């Protein structure tokens, strides 16, 4: 990173926010990967001055980072929106505790859920947790807000939430760079009334929190992050985050109240703005967060149609929002069907689960694609960790033809507790860990079983099979994820036993282990056109115009999972002479 002032860099919102944190003197950062927040920690980890880590999950990341702030250095936690759910327990009480050095929580929300299990609006968490909320509209602003966020945190003794949305996190622009301000560590001064949240202390800290919120509200009224632009007074738009840019593009001449510091809500400022314009409209994505405040204050405004609570806004939607019209669902432009990569080790496991007609409780990762046709071999997906815990519920209700699946990264994140629970509560049956040696879905980040840290430094690699045994699994089998026959054999055996078993299907992800074997060879003379091979959903195989199977030699990596799907020997491992 260039160090001199007046230099710029072409940065995404995530990278710009990380740069802003770096320049603010942040010394500690903890996170768990998740779109669209992943690149924040990846960027922070590149600064030698910052002790940055991928934690095992968001609750752990939150507590580690919060601990660092209480121990006296500026610290930052970041995650995708649902990550905050995992961190809610410490988050709620940390507002009572307050901070020592500044502590900033970054939530990267996903209106439109491009890559998420829901599209919850975490602005509501700021209100619920009684924490101030900052909402940048673009990468430059994300960077600019960071020193303000840390100072606000320290001045008001409170964690500060900065909310990005996907379009802010992933948009790139030229961002001016500044120099880092070194902050001297404050050290830790014990103060049980503040740091030990037993009921009586917490009661008084709650009273204090309410006072801190009033002071924050007063500050929001005159914050430089809340900007009034008076242009044509006929239309006054109140907005925050990226919605400001959409609205500005469509109504360049309107008057605006752009809220960068949107909670606690600056009441007086809003009243002053409303008094200056003829009609007030709120433009916001997802929940009626700002709109409900206007209702509460009795400020007249044109209501947004409730259908806009769902999905992402686009500039072309803004006129309809202003008119009060309902959202009209747009046919998405021809979209590419999500598929597992050629050579993905998850494919072989699902081909067996499908063949044995098992009911499969699933989880989140690349392997969630096993739920889609043609594999259609996974029947549930709720949240990280539920592949194990919902398995227990299913198994106890439906009996033995149920299998739970979970990835190695997700097992580390929240699967371990579920396995302990299953063992403790005398659960029988089979759990499959799809161990591709990485967190593939979010871009191949390391995790505690990979032997590398976020900084790329070698570390202890925890052994998944040892963990499973220690958690109470009666049997732990390890098979190659490409060896469908071996998977089927061990699965049949373990399903018949009165025991709790874990099968680890272990083959590295093709994104981290790019070695290619010779492509599959196709023998047209043997093909009976049953198309069973297409049921495994490999993008390298297709049905040609002549009805015969076509192997795309360029993308086939030679995993040979398709070979075992063909009963007629029409597919052979590359290099083998077809019989």
Ligand X SMILES: Cc1ncc(C[n+]2csc(CCOP(=O)(O)OP(=O)(O)O)c2C)c(N)n1
Between 107 and 410, name the residue whose CB sits nearer to ligand X.
410
**Cα–Cα distance for residue pair 353/258, rounded to 1 Å:** 52
Q: What 3-state class would DSSP assign to 228?
A: strand
Between 80 and 428, name the residue whose CB sits nearer to ligand X.
80
Burial 38-70 (b: 16+ CB within 10 A, else e): bbbbbbbbbbeebbbbbbbbbbbbbbbbbebbb
Q: How many Cβ atoms sit within 10 Å of the Cβ of residue 340?
A: 23
Q: What 3-state class would DSSP assign to 479?
A: strand
Give the shortest CB-33-to-ligand X separation in angstroms. 4
Question: Quick one: DSSP state of residue 141?
Answer: H
Give the shortest CB-445-to-ligand X separation in angstroms. 8
Residue from 168, 167, 132, 136 nearest 150 by CA? 132
Between 71 and 124, name the residue whose CB sits nearer to ligand X.
124
Between 33 and 343, name the residue whose CB sits nearer to ligand X.
33
Please report how the helices 199-221 and 267-276 are oriented relative to each other, as an axis angle in degrees rounded to 10.
30
Q: Tokens 């198994």 map to which residue?
A: 395
Give the shortest CB-416-to-ligand X separation in angstroms. 12
Give the shortest CB-449-to-ligand X separation in angstroms. 9
| Cβ-closest position to ligand X | 407
Between 220 and 481, name the residue whose CB sits nearer to ligand X.
481
Give the shortest CB-381-to-ligand X separation in angstroms. 10
Give the shortest CB-358-to-ligand X separation in angstroms. 19
**Cα–Cα distance for residue pair 420/473, rounded to 1 Å:** 8
Give the shortest CB-325-to-ligand X separation in angstroms. 33
Binding residues (CB under 6 A) for ligand X: these are 32-34, 58, 80, 82-83, 86, 117, 364-367, 384, 407-410, 434, 436, 438-442
The residue count for the chain: 579
Contact present, 1 and 46 (Cβ < 8 Å)? yes
Between 95 and 366, name the residue whose CB sits nearer to ligand X.
366
Give the shortest CB-58-to-ligand X separation in angstroms. 6
Between 95 and 384, name the residue whose CB sits nearer to ligand X.
384
Burial 249-280 (b: 16+ CB within 10 A, else e): ebbeebbbbbbbbbbbbbeebbeebbeebeeb
Q: What 3-state class would DSSP assign to 360?
A: strand
Contact present, 465 and 408 (Cβ < 8 Å)? no
Query: Which residues make Cβ contacts (< 8 Å) with residue 22, sequence separation at least 6?
Result: 1, 44, 47, 49, 50, 180
Between 153 and 507, name the residue whose CB sits nearer to ligand X.
507
**Cα–Cα distance for residue pair 230/259, rounded to 1 Å:** 14
Give the shortest CB-487-to-ligand X separation in angstroms. 16
Between 59 and 248, name the residue whose CB sits nearer to ligand X.
59
Query: Which residues make Cβ contacts (< 8 Å) with residue 563, sequence separation at least 6?
Result: 520, 571, 572, 573
Give the shortest CB-505-to-ligand X separation in angstroms. 11
Between 167 and 506, name the residue whose CB sits nearer to ligand X.
506
Query: Which residues make Cβ contacts (< 8 Å) with residue 500, sequence separation at least 6?
Result: 422, 423, 427, 428, 429, 431, 472, 473, 474, 475
């Amino acid at each position: 990173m260039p160090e001199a002032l007046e230099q710029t860099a072409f940065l995404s919102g995530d990278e710009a926010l990380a740069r802003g944190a770096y320049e603010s003197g942040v010394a500690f950062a903890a996170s768990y990967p998740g779109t669209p927040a992943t690149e924040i920690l990846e960027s922070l980890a590149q600064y030698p001055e910052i002790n940055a880590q991928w934690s095992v999950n968001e609750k752990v990341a939150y507590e580690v980072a919060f601990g660092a702030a209480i121990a006296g250095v500026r610290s930052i936690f970041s995650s995708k929106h649902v990550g905050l759910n995992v961190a809610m327990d410490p988050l709620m009480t940390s507002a009572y505790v307050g901070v020592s050095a500044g502590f900033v929580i970054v939530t990267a929300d996903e209106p439109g859920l491009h890559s998420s299990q829901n599209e919850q609006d975490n602005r509501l968490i700021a209100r619920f947790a009684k924490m101030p909320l900052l909402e940048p509209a673009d990468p430059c602003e994300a960077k600019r807000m960071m020193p303000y966020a840390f100072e606000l945190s320290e001045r008001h003794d409170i964690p500060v939430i900065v909310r990005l949305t996907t379009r802010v996190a992933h948009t790139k622009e030229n961002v001016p760079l500044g120099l880092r301000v070194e902050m001297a560590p404050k050290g830790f001064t014990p103060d049980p009334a503040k740091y030990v949240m037993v009921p009586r202390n917490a009661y008084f800290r709650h009273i204090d929190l309410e006072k801190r919120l009033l002071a924050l509200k007063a500050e929001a009224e005159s914050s430089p992050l809340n900007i009034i632009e008076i242009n044509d007074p006929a239309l006054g738009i109140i907005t925050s985050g990226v919605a400001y840019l959409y609205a500005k593009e469509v109504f360049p001449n309107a008057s605006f109240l752009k809220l960068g510091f949107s909670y606690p809500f600056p009441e007086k400022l809003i009243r002053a703005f409303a008094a200056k314009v003829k009609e007030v409209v709120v433009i916001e994505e997802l929940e009626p967060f700002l709109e409900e405040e206007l209702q509460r204050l009795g400020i007249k405004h044109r209501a947004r149609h409730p259908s806009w609570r769902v999905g992402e806004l686009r500039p072309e939607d803004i006129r309809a929002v202003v008119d009060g019209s309902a959202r009209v669902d747009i046919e998405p432009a021809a979209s590419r069907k999500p598929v597992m990569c050629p050579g993905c080790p998850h494919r072989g496991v699902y081909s067996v689960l499908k063949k044995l007609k098992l009911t499969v409780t699933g989880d989140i990762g690349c392997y969630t694609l096993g739920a889609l046709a043609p594999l259609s071999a996974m029947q549930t997906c709720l949240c990280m960790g539920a592949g194990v815990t919902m398995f227990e519920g299913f198994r106890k209700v439906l009996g033995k033809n149920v299998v739970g699946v979970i990835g190695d990264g997700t097992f580390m994140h929240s699967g371990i507790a579920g396995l302990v629970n299953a063992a403790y509560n005398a659960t029988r049956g089979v759990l499959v860990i799809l161990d591709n040696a990485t967190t593939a879905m979010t871009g191949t980040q390391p995790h505690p079983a990979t032997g590398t840290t976020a900084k790329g430094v070698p570390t202890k690699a925890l052994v998944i099979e040892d963990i499973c045994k220690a958690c109470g699994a009666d049997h732990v089998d390890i098979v190659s994820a490409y060896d469908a026959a071996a998977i089927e054999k061990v699965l049949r055996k373990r399903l018949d036993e009165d025991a709790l078993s874990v099968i680890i299907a272990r083959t590295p992800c093709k994104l981290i282990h790019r070695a290619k074997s010779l492509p599959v060879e196709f023998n047209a003379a043997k093909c009976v056109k049953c198309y069973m091979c297409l049921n495994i959903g490999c993008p390298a195989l297709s049905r040609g115009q002549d009805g015969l199977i076509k192997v795309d030699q360029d993308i086939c990596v030679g995993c040979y999972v398709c070979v075992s799907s063909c009963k007629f020997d029409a597919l052979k491992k590359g290099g083998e002479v077809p019989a």
